[in-house]
């Protein structure tokens, strides 16, 4: 009987934790997983999922002459259909020979190594998808402000917030037409990223022709005007041209437009917030904002604290005198009464008011290990065609995010960042 | 329709029955009275007002820096084009351009603590109108009403439990909140920033620990290690 290969032991361990993978993925602490898989559209086929939308009300109202007058004709509600097609995403994890040496023959060690790789990989995959949720549906993770050798200084927003060291990226021109990596025949990997201070990223290869204003997109996208996950900036958008879920924005310029407040590069103020909230109330009804959340970067949460009208995070952590009344502060932070959800991935210059009851995920394939004929762990082959000293497994999922009522939200953009960021 | 208010400010309205058939009239006359509470208003107790004034002091106009308000009582200007929908069907009934006073906060059945913010925080009147004027059907209307020349009270805190349950307003709680906000106001910005950053790191670590626990649950007890009874 041949000796058991370590890859087989890893596969066995992966199988043991397989039912935990959806649990690790679906924990609703990030925006992506706060958007529920909706029961009515939980599973979609590879064809587009169709979302019927009431775009215009029906009926003809008016007065009439009861003394034999003509009451006129009526009309019906106008509907159109938005369409969503899922995108496949994967996350590849490789286990190399040193891990095998550290774990040979000991089940407990293999178990720990596998556990570590699954937990870390899932965390990173969720983070990647949550970063995509911040984008405009084209996979753009950042814009290059300047290039110095292999260092890119990135424009805020997003700065260097949406990439991570070790990530394979592609560089496109500003119109998303020319893929510079394909043109130059090179692969670019992020070596370091500083999303806090300098907003610099360093890479291993800079494709020929890379200039300031070029954009960085994630790995796997191809062709001109690539399509990725439809994030916040895709749905919460006040554009009146272009397309939204296969509908022409110009056809429904009012219905598909999310109310916007332009802060004009000034700091966040209570009146910005009231303006944005009131826009939602005016379009949906005065009492229809109870489901809103205020989604923002930690920078804007800090800016709100700086206004001096809220309880600081320090107090919420029981940093005052720690008496029973501090339980008052154990609830959620609010912005003018709207619960705050902040994220390190969110646009640093923007506050979005979201009603997540109108958002959903159309899922074609639930999160799981990628499987071929029952195998979840695969060998790596070297350049010679021989076996390489590592093996690989993947997480994969296919879904798309939709919002059936873009007017239900609002956003404040072009906000100044507080000093120190 | 009969409508009445009690001393606490609760507005009650008897339900209407429009039909006049003898059977419905009999039902109406013998059915138990049903009262619909439309809105409930409360005045802030005097002792709460005093405690808040003691905790936060007074502003340049001699008014308290902090006040407690009941959600239904706190109205604010909203101007622009309103779309009114049928509550039953959600269909659009009419559009109207006007300036209204409506409850300022979504939680209308809760107590809120507010802090006074000086007029300078809202910029100049010219800037205010430049930012807030909306034009609908040829009518210019200030979306947030007139310029707050005497400042404005802004939302600080909604008095409710961790799961959103109602909490009664007491002088002690109100004063505690005001003092906590005053304490926060005097913290250095760098400390406030680091506390937000620390929270993010803590949440990150909490996910790691939780994920490891979940994966531990997937393996056999004692990680399949043999064990013997000791003793």
Q: Shortest CB distance from B183 goes to which of A315, A337, A418?
A: A315
For the purposes of burial, counting CB atoms within 10 Å of the CB of B159, is it exposed (0-12), middle (13-18) or buried (19 or more)? buried
Q: Is A248 on the interface with B (CB under 8 A)?
A: no
User: Both tokens of residue B186?
Assistant: 């005097």
Interface of A with B in 304-333 (CB under 8 A): 305-315, 317, 319-320, 325, 327-331
Do residues A393 and A7 lie in contact, with contact meaning Cβ atoms separated by under 8 Å? no
Considering Cα of B102, then B104, then B110, then B111, what sign does the dihedral take?
Answer: negative
Q: For residue A292, give the chain B residue with the closest CA.
A: B106
Q: Encode pLDDT of A82-113 as tens digits.
A: 888 899 999 999 887 776 666 655 666 777 78
Residues in chain A: 421
The single residue listed with the structure tokens 């071929």 is: A372
Q: Encode pLDDT of A188-211 as tens digits.
A: 999 999 998 999 999 999 999 999
User: Both tokens of residue A161?
Assistant: 């917030």
Runs of H (alpha helix) within chain B: 22-30, 46-56, 125-132, 171-185, 189-216
Helix B189-216 vs helix A107-132: angle between axes, to the nearest 10 degrees?
A: 130
Contact B180 A309 (CB under 8 A): no
Of the candidate ranges A307-316, A360-369, B31-40, the one whose mean pLDDT is the lowest: B31-40
Terminal Cα distance for chain B, rounded: 83
Cis ω for the linkage preceding A157 (within 30 of 0): yes
Mean pLDDT of A241-248: 94
Helix B125-132 vs helix A270-284: angle between axes, to the nearest 10 degrees?
A: 30
- The confidence score (pLDDT) of residue A4 equals 45
Would you give the DSSP letter of residue A372?
B
- The confidence score (pLDDT) of residue A133 equals 96
Do residues A44 and A51 lie in contact, with contact meaning Cβ atoms separated by under 8 Å? no
Selection from B97, B82, B94, B83 nearest residue B137 by Cα: B97
In chain B, residues with a C-beta closer than 8 Å to the C-beta of A53 are none
- Give the pLDDT band of residue B137 (cuts 50, 70, 90): confident
Interface predicted TM-score of the whole assembly (ipTM), two decimals: 0.83
- Give the pLDDT band of residue A45 (cuts 50, 70, 90): low
Cα torsion A103, A104, A107, A112 to 10°: value is 10
Selection from B73, B57, B76 nearest residue B65 by Cα: B57
Selection from B180, B38, B3 nearest residue B109 by Cα: B38
Rounded Cα–Cα distance for residues A190 and A202 (Å): 6
Q: How far is A282 from chain B (nearest CA, A)?
A: 5
Degrees to nearest 5, angle at CA A207 with A203 and A212: 80
Q: Is B77 on the interface with A (CB under 8 A)?
A: no
Mean pLDDT of A154-161: 95
Q: Is B152 on the interface with A (CB under 8 A)?
A: yes
- Give the pLDDT band of residue A3 (cuts 50, 70, 90): very low
């Amino acid at each position: 009987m041949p000796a058991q290969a370590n890859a087989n032991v890893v596969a066995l361990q992966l199988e043991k934790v397989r039912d935990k993978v959806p649990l690790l993925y679906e924990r609703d602490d990030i925006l992506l997983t706060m958007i529920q898989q909706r029961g009515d559209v939980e599973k979609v086929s590879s064809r587009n999922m169709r979302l019927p939308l009431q775009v215009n009300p029906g009926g003809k109202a008016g007065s009439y002459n009861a003394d034999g007058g003509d009451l006129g004709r009526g009309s019906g509600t106008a509907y159109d259909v938005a369409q969503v097609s899922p995108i496949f995403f994967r996350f590849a994890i490789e286990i190399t020979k040193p891990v095998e040496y550290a774990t040979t023959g000991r089940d407990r060690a293999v178990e720990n190594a596998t556990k570590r790789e699954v937990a870390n990989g899932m965390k990173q995959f969720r983070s990647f998808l949550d970063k995509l949720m911040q984008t405009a549906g084209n996979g753009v993770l950042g814009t290059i402000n300047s290039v110095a050798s292999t260092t890119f200084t990135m424009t805020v927003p997003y700065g260097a917030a949406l990439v991570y060291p070790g990530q394979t990226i592609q560089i496109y021109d500003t119109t998303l037409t020319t893929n510079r990596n394909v043109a130059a025949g090179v692969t670019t990997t992020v070596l370091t990223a500083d999303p806090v201070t300098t907003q610099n990223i360093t890479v291993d290869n800079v494709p020929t022709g890379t200039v300031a204003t070029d954009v960085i997109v994630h790995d796997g996208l191809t062709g001109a005007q690539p399509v990725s996950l439809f994030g916040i900036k895709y749905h919460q958008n006040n554009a009146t041209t272009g397309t939204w879920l296969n509908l022409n924005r110009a056809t429904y310029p009012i219905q598909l437009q999310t109310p916007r407040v332009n802060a004009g590069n000034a700091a966040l103020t209570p009146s910005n917030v009231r303006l944005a909230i009131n826009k939602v109330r005016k379009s949906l009804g005065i009492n229809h904002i109870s489901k809103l959340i205020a989604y923002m970067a930690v920078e804007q949460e800090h800016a709100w604290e700086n206004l001096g009208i809220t309880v600081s995070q320090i107090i919420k952590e029981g940093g005052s005198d720690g008496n029973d009344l501090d339980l008052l502060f154990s609830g959620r932070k609010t912005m003018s009464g709207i619960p705050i959800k902040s994220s390190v991935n969110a646009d640093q210059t923007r506050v979005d008011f979201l009603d997540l009851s109108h958002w959903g995920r159309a899922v074609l394939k639930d999160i799981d290990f990628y499987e071929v004929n029952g195998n979840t762990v695969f060998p790596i082959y070297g350049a010679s065609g021989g076996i390489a000293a590592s093996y690989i497994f993947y997480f994969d999922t296919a879904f798309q995010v939709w919002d059936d009522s873009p007017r239900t939200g609002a956003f404040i953009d072009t906000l100044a960042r507080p000093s120190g960021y | 329709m009969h409508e009445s208010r009690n001393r606490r400010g609760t507005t009650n309205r008897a339900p209407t029955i429009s039909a006049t058939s003898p059977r419905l009239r009999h039902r109406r006359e013998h059915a138990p009275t049903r009262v619909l509470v439309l809105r409930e208003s409360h005045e802030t107790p005097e002792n709460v007002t005093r405690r808040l004034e003691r905790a936060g002091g007074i502003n340049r106009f001699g008014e308290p820096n902090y006040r407690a308000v009941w959600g239904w009582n706190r109205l604010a200007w909203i101007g622009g084009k309103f779309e009114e929908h049928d509550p039953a069907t959600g269909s659009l009934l009419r559009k109207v351009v006007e300036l209204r006073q409506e409850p300022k906060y979504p939680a209308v059945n809760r107590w809120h603590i507010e802090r006074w913010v000086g007029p300078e925080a809202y910029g100049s009147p010219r800037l205010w109108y430049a930012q807030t004027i909306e034009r609908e059907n040829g009518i210019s209307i200030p979306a947030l009403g007139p310029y707050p020349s005497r400042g404005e009270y802004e939302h600080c805190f909604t008095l409710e439990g961790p799961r959103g349950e109602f909490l009664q307003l007491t002088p002690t709680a109100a004063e505690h909140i005001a003092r906590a906000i005053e304490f926060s106001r005097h913290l250095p910005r760098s400390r406030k920033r680091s506390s937000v950053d620390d929270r993010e790191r803590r949440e990150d670590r909490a996910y790691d620990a939780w994920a490891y626990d979940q994966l531990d649950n997937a393996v056999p007890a004692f990680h399949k290690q043999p064990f013997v009874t000791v003793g």
